[in-house]
Structure 1
Amino acid sequence: MGKKIYIPVLAISCLGFAFASYSNWDKSNQIQQDRLTCPLIKPEQIVSSVERDLLNKPANAFFHKSRITIGALNIDRESIQLDQGTHYTVFFTLTGRMIRKFVASVRCSDLNDISYSEL
């Protein structure tokens, strides 16, 4: 009875270890790729990427708007800064009934990989 359980447990453990190793290697590889790409990116590319993402994505999930318009979006072009050598941060505001402030984090090696947080 013990051997019947031992082999599947060992196999699952090996698969878990292999997955964790691959995941760690992949993350390390992405960080290296970001650090090589960041110096090549121009601020205009970052602004364009954030604008395109905000204007084309369904905004109601995070921004509580059915749609973001160009007039409601104000990106602070002076605030673009490299953070940890792997991504750029961009501050922007959305106007409507209230003015809300946000920050976008744009990954250097994939300008479509953008995350947002409210300030």
Structure 2
Amino acid sequence: MADQLTEQIIAAAIEVHKTLGPGLLESIYEEALCIELELAGLPFQRQLAVDVMYKGRAIQGQRLDLLIAKEVVVEIKSLRTLPEVATAQVLSYLKATGLKRGLLLNFGEKQMVGGVKRISL
């Protein structure tokens, strides 16, 4: 199910990929995507710490790459092929935050369109 916010995020990712191409570090794509999000006027939080709850206790150590408009979790990768664990990672972030929508963006693809995976709970 497409929505305006995720479409804007994907458009920003496509612009970054068109400009930089594949093969760079994830941190470079994250920085460039943040610039695109700022230009688009989308609020975001970067490298946000999220606790995982275990038997009523908070365990620290997880960090979201990006949280857009306090609604969409974005995980950035730069790999030739994504391991299945990448999807599980986004799902765990959604569970930890109580949010429903996530995007897994793999800038390692030849075209960004093939590197976009929508994930929802």
TM-score when scaled to structure 2?
0.31
Larger fraction in helix: 1
Structure showing greater radius of gyration is 1
Structure number with the bigger relative contact order (C-alpha 8 A, sep ≥ 6) is 2
TM-score when scaled to structure 1?
0.31
Larger fraction in strand: 2
